[in-house]
Amino acid sequence: MQALNPKASEIFDLMSKIESLKSQGVSQWIMSYMHTIRIFGNEAVHDKVQANRNPKSVDEKDLEIGMYCMIRIIDFYLSFRKA
């Protein structure tokens, strides 16, 4: 699999890996899709029990946004590989 930023293999923090794509000319809005997926992933694996949190959890509308982000990232990656 071709990496978007081969130098990022030395970075362990996903947020930093995504931000490192700036140096490869990746557009900010594509990186924002990646961050959205990263945040939804964090929501799925980390306990977020907070009494004053609103909304309390991710819902169907958020999942629709997440799926759109995934489709857009996949389209971007496939076009990157062709270039």
- In this prediction, residue 1 carries a pLDDT of 46
From 3-7, 14-18, 32-36, 53-57, the region with the lowest mean pLDDT = 3-7
3-state secondary structure (DSSP) of residue 75: helix
Question: pLDDT per residue over 2-19, tens digit each?
Answer: 577 777 777 678 999 999
Residues 24, 4: Cα–Cα separation, whole Å:
7
* pLDDT grade for 57, boundaries at 50, 70 and 90: confident
| CA distances to 37, 46, 71 from 56, in Å | 18, 13, 26
Cβ atoms of 44 and 1 closer than 8 Å: no
* pLDDT grade for 28, boundaries at 50, 70 and 90: very high
Give me the phi and psi of 79, to 5 degrees please.
Answer: -70, -35
